[in-house]
Amino acid sequence: MTLEHSTFASPLGELTVVTHGGRLAGLGFSDCGTPLRRSLERRFGRVTPTAASAPSPIARVLAAYFAGDVAALDTIDVDPGGTTFQQRVWGALRRIPVGQTVSYRDLARTIGAPAAVRAVGAANGANPIGIVVPCHRVIGADGALHGYAGGLARKRWLLRHEGAIA
């Protein structure tokens, strides 16, 4: 089993990029590495990270995103793993248009599970592919920013960058 690891210098800090079979399997802020590492270990068991042999095409897309092409992330092929429920939530996250936000309640309704707001929140928090699977676009029903593994300052920056907030 090969998981290739590389890093990407973003305006928000270094990102850890993990690919599996050419697809993005993990993306997180390097200074918040424990949740990503745990997620990958749950999915793949103990693996020794292999340094990527060449710059990842994902790095080029991330560079385009941070340079202002905020729709570029839609082109990245992802492989997040997860349960069937998590996959439904993460798929719905990828369908939130750039520049828009939704509440946890709205996201639960979108996947046909209106009573599962807390479970949607848990799936959102377990997202192993931050930014590309845009969990940062989910906000509280009151419009407030809540919970983001990279911290609320980064969530605010991403939403401003995408034009979702002023």
32 catalytic? Reply is no
For residue 115, pLDDT beyond 80? yes
Of 135, 138, 149, 158, which residue is the catalytic one? Answer: 135
Domain positions in the chain are 4-75, 84-161
Separation of alpha carbons 67 and 78, rounded Å: 21
Q: What's the CATH number of domain 84-161, 3.40.50.720, 2.70.98.40, 3.30.70.330, 1.10.10.10?
A: 1.10.10.10
Question: CB of 163 within 8 A of CB of 99?
Answer: yes
* Predicted model pTM: 0.92
The rounded Cα 164 to chain-centroid distance in angstroms is: 17
For residue 105, pLDDT beyond 80? yes
- Position 149 confidence tier, pLDDT thresholds 50, 70, 90: confident
Question: CB of 95 within 8 A of CB of 133?
Answer: no
- Quick: pLDDT tens for 41-61: 888 888 777 877 666 789 999
The predicted model gives 15-19 an average pLDDT of 92
Q: Does domain 4-75 bear CATH number 3.30.160? A: yes
